[in-house]
Chain A
């Protein structure tokens, strides 16, 4: 069966520090991968998605970036965090067949 992992589960970082969030998927090949951000009590904002290794589409201009160094690994990064980067970050995968499957999320607080 397929599983998706995200880490860390929670993170507190000072403004201006770098960020690296990792997402890995097991049990499937060549999935579509997604990074979303969810502000408190709000819906999901799609940040990046990838249909293959090295293929990244950015949805929202910001100081975040994403990379897909391996088929089942998706990384969200920032060189310098802003206060507005605080939120709940969700990684998801799909098999190109409609449904998306979400990881447990990372709660990021920028102080």
Chain B
């Protein structure tokens, strides 16, 4: 099964509301990352949180990490139409290789 699995698979909210997406993973990690993908485009790195961190902020993004539950959440506050995209979490393995394992993604739609 997937190392990273996001839920929900799809989320639609009104512009201005907050959007929360969750990611669960199975093995120990060094860090967890979140990426955004607009339709038909490459992925864009949003934020990285290390295993010894519990919360991180970047602009309207807030990421939390709970290593005891092997889960992370991405909160987008005051959503905008431009936030419409798919969001993926990605985890590395905790033994120093350079591979990331991506989840299946959450498709976020912001309704104007």
A positions within 8 Å CB-CB of B:
32, 36, 41-44, 46, 49, 51, 59, 88, 90, 92, 94, 96, 98-105, 107
Q: Mark B22-57, 1 if CB is under 8 A from A, else 0.
A: 000000000101000000111111001000000000
Chain B interface mostly helix, strand, loop or mixed? strand
B2 partner residues in chain A, CB cutoff 8 A: 43
B positions within 8 Å CB-CB of A:
2, 31, 33, 40-45, 48, 88, 90, 92, 98-105, 107
When the two chains form their complex, are residues B104 and A42 in contact, meaning their CB atoms are under 8 A apart? yes
Bound-state CA distance A92–B90 (Å) is: 14
Bound-state CA distance A107–B48 (Å) is: 28
B102 partner residues in chain A, CB cutoff 8 A: 36, 43-44, 46
When the two chains form their complex, are residues B101 and A46 in contact, meaning their CB atoms are under 8 A apart? yes
Question: CB within 8 A of A105: which of B33, B42, B44?
Answer: B42
User: A51-B98, A94-B98 given as contacts; is B45 within 8 A of A101 (CB)?
Assistant: yes
Offer 20 A-B interface pairs, CB within 8 angstroms, sorted by A: A36-B102, A42-B105, A43-B103, A43-B104, A44-B43, A44-B88, A46-B100, A46-B101, A46-B102, A59-B99, A96-B98, A99-B33, A99-B48, A100-B45, A100-B100, A102-B43, A102-B44, A103-B42, A104-B41, A105-B42
When the two chains form their complex, are residues A98 and B40 in contact, meaning their CB atoms are under 8 A apart? no
| Shortest distance from the beta carbon of A69 to any chain B beta carbon, whole Å | 20
When the two chains form their complex, are residues B42 and A98 in contact, meaning their CB atoms are under 8 A apart? no
Bound-state CA distance A92–B104 (Å) is: 18
| Shortest distance from the beta carbon of A25 to any chain B beta carbon, whole Å | 13
**What residue of chain B has the Cβ atom nearest to residue A91's Cβ?**
B42
When the two chains form their complex, are residues B42 and A102 in contact, meaning their CB atoms are under 8 A apart? yes
When the two chains form their complex, are residues B100 and A43 in contact, meaning their CB atoms are under 8 A apart? no
When the two chains form their complex, are residues B103 and A49 in contact, meaning their CB atoms are under 8 A apart? no
Q: Give 8 nearest A-B pairs by CB, closest first.
A: A102-B42, A43-B104, A44-B102, A102-B43, A99-B45, A32-B98, A43-B102, A104-B42
